[in-house]
Amino acid sequence: MRSLKTSIFGAVAAAALISASAAPASATECGTDDKITIAEMTWLSASTLAHVTQKILADGYGCNAEVVPGDTVPTATSMLTKGEPTIAPEMWVSTAQAIWDKMMDKGNVYKAGDIFGSGGEEGWWIPDYTAKEHPEIKSISDLKDNWELFADVANPDKGRLYGCPPGWGCEIITNNLFKALDLGETYELFSPGSGANLKASIARQVTRKKPMVAYYWGPTAVIGKYNLVRLDMPEHDADKFKCLTDKNCADPQVTGWAVGEVAVAATTELKEKAPAVAEFLSKMQVPNDDISKVLAWGDENKASPADTAAYFLKNNEDIWTAWVPEDVAAKVKESL
């Protein structure tokens, strides 16, 4: 009898051992008990992505992760000097180029990846209905011969181009590009006065289904909400563009904006301590059109960044589940 019990026990133990060896060694874990801080910048895309990152790290990997206030230059400076915050999911490199170069030289921060599939996009945009009704307008060079389409009732003798808000770097570029295209005789370069006014002007024209051309950037809620189409531009020429950024540019030439480098920035220490998290960050990327639509939802519903992040996670599983292992994705889904 004892021999039989021993045999049964041995068989059960062997079966358990086989079962354990067949299962994964362990679920994907954070890799560090240190607090991971994530910069929440002051605009909706960056704040939403900060909450997406926090949700995946906390609920998917079991990390001690929290969102902290941030903005491009202060965050970059703090990461350089203090190694805090740990992650900046939407770092516009060109805005903090000098600090970014110092971080790269120092080596305490690294670029985990590019957050936007098409990079940051700047340019002149028209509504999708205008592009459909007027296929002859495909590029910025087509504007000159089609000025009447964009005339405003306040000044019907000229087309209206909504420019960049005063004081922004894009104002000088747009002004010089306006000169380079020789649009002065047929267009009025209209200053919106502020970013909020520019957004309101676009909203007013699109709501009325009026043709409109305006400076804007993406991905943003405005691009997604109003279905704006970017006019084609020549390839970026660094020397020509450098002159466009100078308000005293003597001979502005037509060239396109460079694709904006928008990095997922993280501390090198995190990469060393939490390789699984580093692997996730290296895959974290969103298509521009998709994130613009998510931001449009957030803007229309006056949703908080956390709610906008939850909307993204619930409605874009095909995007974010590709960033993480299956067990992590399952935990995040369950938490939602």
310 belongs to a structural domain? yes
Domain ends where: 220, 244, 268?
A: 244
255 belongs to a structural domain? no
Is residue 238 domain-shared with residue 175, that is, in the same domain?
yes
How far apart are alpha carbons 116 and 286 in whole angstroms? Answer: 5
Q: In one letter, which amino acid is 100? A: W
CA atoms within 13 A on the CB side of 210: 17
How far apart are alpha carbons 232 and 19 in whole angstroms? Answer: 59
The predicted structure's pLDDT at residue 1: 34
CATH of the domain at 207: 3.40.190.100
Give the other-Cβ count within 10 Å of 268's Cβ: 15
Is residue 131 domain-shared with residue 210, that is, in the same domain?
yes
Handedness of CA 199, 204, 206, 212 (dihedral sign): negative
Is residue 127 domain-shared with residue 189, that is, in the same domain?
yes
Can you give the length of the chain in residues? 336
How far apart are alpha carbons 72 and 90 in whole angstroms? Answer: 9
Give the other-Cβ count within 10 Å of 323's Cβ: 20
Taking Cα atoms as reference points, which of 117, 134, 95, 92 lies closest to residue 231? 134
Is residue 186 domain-shared with residue 164, that is, in the same domain?
yes
Is residue 110 domain-shared with residue 130, that is, in the same domain?
no
Is residue 225 domain-shared with residue 237, that is, in the same domain?
yes
Taking Cα atoms as reference points, which of 305, 281, 278, 279 lies closest to residue 294? 305
The predicted structure's pLDDT at residue 17: 41
The predicted structure's pLDDT at residue 108: 97
Is residue 114 domain-shared with residue 134, that is, in the same domain?
no
The predicted structure's pLDDT at residue 23: 34
Buried b (16+ CB within 10 A) or exposed e, 33-65: eeebbbbbbebbbbbbbbbbbbbbbbbbbbbeb
* 176 three-class SS: helix
Is residue 182 domain-shared with residue 78, that is, in the same domain?
no
Domain ends where: 215, 244, 273?
A: 244
Domain span including residue 139: 121-244
Q: Are 253 and 239 in contact (CB under 8 A)?
A: no
CA atoms within 13 A on the CB side of 3: 0
* 246 three-class SS: coil
CATH of the domain at 97: 3.40.190.10
Is residue 186 domain-shared with residue 228, that is, in the same domain?
yes
254 belongs to a structural domain? no
Q: How far is CA 233 from the centre of its chain?
A: 21
The predicted structure's pLDDT at residue 27: 58
27 belongs to a structural domain? no
Is residue 47 domain-shared with residue 128, that is, in the same domain?
no
Label residue 151 exposed, middle or buried (CB < 10 Å: 0-12, 13-18, 19+).
Answer: middle
Give, in order, the Cα–Cα distances in Å from 322 to each of 12, 268, 286. Answer: 38, 23, 11
How far apart are alpha carbons 48 and 90 in whole angstroms? Answer: 10
318 belongs to a structural domain? yes
Domain ends where: 194, 214, 244?
A: 244
pLDDT of the chain, 336 residues: tens digit per residue: 333 333 433 444 444 443 333 333 345 899 999 999 999 998 999 999 999 999 999 999 999 999 999 999 999 999 999 999 999 999 999 888 899 999 999 999 999 999 999 999 999 999 999 999 999 999 999 999 999 999 998 899 999 999 999 988 899 999 999 999 999 999 999 999 999 999 999 999 999 999 999 999 999 999 999 999 999 999 999 999 999 989 899 999 999 998 899 999 999 999 999 999 999 999 999 999 999 999 999 999 999 999 999 999 999 999 999 999 999 999 999 999
232 belongs to a structural domain? yes
Is residue 238 domain-shared with residue 125, that is, in the same domain?
yes
Structure-token match 């703090």, residue found: 78
Structure tokens at 327: 């067990």
